[in-house]
Structure 1
């Protein structure tokens, strides 16, 4: 992540990181009221916590935003770590982060193989393929979660390439990367 001196623009290229640390960084980023430019990739904690505090989001050509879940009830049941769960809940409330953006699921929803009640639609996978591990965020999904944000996806998007380039798409699919497809946040 880099910032331009005297400017309210933050260029992000991050694979994510520790949940609690990312939320602390996001608190500082929020105070900047910055435009976020995704330059390459913004994945995991970067996507979960940095993007929601942006004034504006620009996704450069070929850049990707990737989600794979958060500190939800399923992770709490699995890890027993209450601190990240509680801090994420407070963060989501303070910054109006939709639980759909965090791919939040209860343990029962996870066990049922559900995407959870906070999203509708489906990830763009081939019929019968349920190996989704990473969701490459498309404009439709991002806008459904953050209708108040100024969002710009610059062509050619990462998912444009996934759909156009079969060998590229197949290589990503082997690792569980799929476009968000018709996935949308459900507002309470």
Structure 2
């Protein structure tokens, strides 16, 4: 098993290689753990690429949380908008039924009044779908909130450690085949 990616027969150095592997890679200026270093504080200073990676990772971490929170807010607004439409449609159905009753009291043809009552009934049937949609949107908002909370809980400490730690982490490519 190789601890680094191979290119042209050389093994690229990582922070988990033995002294022999580091030397074989031609990068003897990079100390491996255990080569005269007793504590992690003795590890080499940051490389400039790591700073960019850490900042990019921190931004990605933050963006994920912000996007999840934004999605939760959007779903709450959708739920409220659907509930508002629900209320409007219910009012319309009542109005149409009332107009049909007034028309019936004025001896308007039964086919006209029954068509109005049918239209009001159709409006009320759609309310069940609207109510289900509003409930689903509210549940999705809660799920987005939970996802943001869980993401922060799962990766917040890792994100903080990556930003605060002076150590080099393995390149992303190292993790890609794991």
Q: TM-score, normalised by structure 2?
A: 0.23
Name the structure with the higher helix share.
2
Higher RCO (CA < 8 A, seq sep 6+) = 2
**Higher Cα radius of gyration:** 2
Name the structure with the higher strand share.
1
Q: TM-score, normalised by structure 1?
A: 0.22
